[in-house]
């Protein structure tokens, strides 16, 4: 499997938005139908929610798999789809979708990757994973100027008086990483206990003890400043005492949340942030655009991984007719079809 990041339009049969379990299994079902796929995902790894929200939690309702973790499910799906050699575009958000004069689709990502395909499969789950934004009134005006949720260029923070909010790995890693170049780093967390790796916590505590970094305990509740330029933050402790801490830069790391994002602007009909589909082949209001998994809606829908797998199979059958209009659809079983076994690179003689 390869990764690319190119400005030249990529030509493929199908582009799948979302590399969670349903997007991955769609590669399998489409692959059996001779449909080549590219996948786009905002995360830097496959698995979607299974990878981001519950990598180590058990899943008990995958047919014939009594138990597996989110990570294991992802790994097994990646192994299963290997014969079809899909191309992944990780760390990219599907930003816009437009129709080409010949009826195909042009998908552009926020990194400038352009993918042209006959079929689009939206398997975007609960939406794109984006940093949680603190529900602080007026924080928007500071975003990108004084308030940040990610570090793109470390140099941008040289000689800054930085407050880093959060208690996980991102907060601790960046506190340690920026300390040498910042004017001052103050770590702010709601409690004097950290979920981050013990090694990072130990390093942070040592720096605080040596006076190289500050640690303040309390809830980050407001930004003080003007015109997007912060001068301080407010911290509130358990006893509701409020204190101000001068700073010019705030980095907030509270984890990720799912937002529908640009899919809402693709021109597909939406209902309560979900994409209505028909139950015959999970096509949306736009022919050749499908939606499978948690993001779709139809009567009786259950948001289960297994529902998404079923939807992928029916979607692929219809997608085949768009990609290969000259061919007759042939229903086959992987157990007995030498054609399918050839695609999977197996000989089908021995299951042991």
Partner 1 sequence: MKVIMTDMEGTNHELLATEEWTVMEIIREGGIPILAQCGGSCACATCHVYVDPAWKAKLPEPNEEEVGMLDGAFDVTQDSRLACQIIFTKDLDGLVVKLAAGSV
State the residues that interact with partner 1 by CB under 8 A.
49, 53-54, 57, 126, 132, 134-136, 166-168, 189-191, 193, 195, 219, 221, 236, 238, 254-255, 257-258, 303
Smaller CB separation from partner 1, 58 or 342 = 58
> Which residue blocks in the chain are alpha helix, DSSP H?
21-32, 49-52, 70-81, 169-178, 198-209, 305-323, 338-344
Annotate 103-131 with b (16+ C-beta within 10 A) or e (fewer): ebbbbbbbeebebbbbbbbbbbbbbbbeb
Minimum Å distance from CB 88 to partner 1? Answer: 24
Pairing relation of β-strands 219-226 and 229-236? Answer: antiparallel
Minimum Å distance from CB 265 to partner 1? Answer: 22
CB 292 within 8 A of CB 14: no
Residue 172's φ and ψ, nearest 5 degrees, are: -70, -45
How long a stretch of residues is the chain?
352
Which two tokens mark 233? Answer: 């933050």
CB 250 within 8 A of CB 222: no
Smaller CB separation from partner 1, 54 or 298 = 54
Q: Is 33 left (phi over 0), alpha (psi -120 to 50) or beta?
A: alpha
Smaller CB separation from partner 1, 181 or 217 = 217
Smaller CB separation from partner 1, 56 or 347 = 56
């Amino acid at each position: 499997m390869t990764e690319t990041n190119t400005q030249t339009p990529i030509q493929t049969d199908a582009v799948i938005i979302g590399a969670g379990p349903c997007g991955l299994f769609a590669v399998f079902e489409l692959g059996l139908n001779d449909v080549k796929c590219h996948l786009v995902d905002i995360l830097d790894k496959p698995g979607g929610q299974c990878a981001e929200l519950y990598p180590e939690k058990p899943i008990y309702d995958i047919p014939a798999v009594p138990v597996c973790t989110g990570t294991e499910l992802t790994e097994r799906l990646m192994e299963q789809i290997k014969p079809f050699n899909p191309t992944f575009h990780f760390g990219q958000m599907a930003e816009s979708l437009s129709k080409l004069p010949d009826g195909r689709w042009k998908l552009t990502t926020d990194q400038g990757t352009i993918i042209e395909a006959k079929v689009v499969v939206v398997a975007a789950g609960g939406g794109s994973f984006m940093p949680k934004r603190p529900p602080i009134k007026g924080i928007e005006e500071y975003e990108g100027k004084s308030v940040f949720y990610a570090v793109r260029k470390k140099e941008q923070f040289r000689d800054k008086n930085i407050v880093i909010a959060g208690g996980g790995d991102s907060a601790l890693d960046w506190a340690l990483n920026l300390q040498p170049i910042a004017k001052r780093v103050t770590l702010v967390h709601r409690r004097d206990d950290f979920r981050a790796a013990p090694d990072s916590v130990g390093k942070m505590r040592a720096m605080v003890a040596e006076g190289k970094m500050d640690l303040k305990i309390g809830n980050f509740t407001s930004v003080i400043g003007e015109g997007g330029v912060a001068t301080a933050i407010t911290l509130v402790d358990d006893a509701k005492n409020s204190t101000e801490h001068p700073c010019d830069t705030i980095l907030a790391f509270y984890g990720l949340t799912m937002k529908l994002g640009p899919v809402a602007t693709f021109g597909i009909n939406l209902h309560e942030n979900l994409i209505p589909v028909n139950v015959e082949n999970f096509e949306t209001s736009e022919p050749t655009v499908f939606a499978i998994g948690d993001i779709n809606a139809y009567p009786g829908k259950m948001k289960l991984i297994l529902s998404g797998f079923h939807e992928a199979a029916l979607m692929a059958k219809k997608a085949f007719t768009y990609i290969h209009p000259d061919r007759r659809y042939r229903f086959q079983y992987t157990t007995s079809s030498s054609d399918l076994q050839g695609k999977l690179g197996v000989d089908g003689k021995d299951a042991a």
